Structure 1
């Protein structure tokens, strides 16, 4: 078993984000390309963003610290520390409304949403 302090990792990523050119930094806590589950702590400085991108996997974003917003087209959802966002399978973006840290969890699907596997 491995024990990790997500709170400490969030602070570490916020400090790294403050020094990074893009205003964000990330560390994969668990998983990666070889696993079906990937969990990543992302630190974001106010005003930084994760640009619009697609998503066919199941994903959630748990706000550890600060406030963020999720944008899908003209729709915007704001979330603060303690909020869990279930990310839809649509093109979307995130922006930090203040210095923030999130835990992003992604469970890779073996096929795109809506596609039914043949038996």
Structure 2
């Protein structure tokens, strides 16, 4: 199954979920974890502390990460370092992204 096929399945699951989101672990090893996350438009992942070194790679749609001091827009095809401080994530449209986290 291709990544985009998995992503389409995750988005469909998010659309029927009352939470408006769905996720699937792609890889979980000793030093790295990758999670495919789908959010429907307007869905917010509550504020949380960054788990350490992490990136967000938006495959489809557009999400916004917000800290107390800044707003980071992440569009389709963009890859950013996740902010190391507390932040939330809001889907500006139906979105699919990969969260990659370095595991200590």
> Shorter-chain TM-score: what band?
over 0.9
C-alpha distance in 2 between matches for 1:74 and 1:36: 30
Q: Secondary structure at the match of 1:88?
A: coil
* Correspondence for 1:27: 24
TM-score, normalization by structure 2? 0.94
- Out of 3, 8, 19, which is 1:6 matched to? 3
- Structure 1, gaps ≥5 residues long: 110-119
C-alpha distance in 2 between matches for 1:35 and 1:8: 27
* Correspondence for 1:18: 15
Q: Work out which structure has the larger RCO, using CA pairs closer than 8 Å and 6 or more positions apart in sequence.
A: 2
* Correspondence for 1:70: 65
Give 1 or 2 for the bigger CA radius of gyration.
1
- Structure 2, gaps ≥5 residues long: none
Instruction: Please state how far the C-alpha of 1:55 moved relative to its aligned partner.
Output: 1.6
Moved over 4 A (4+): none
Number of aligned residues: 104
RMSD: 1.2
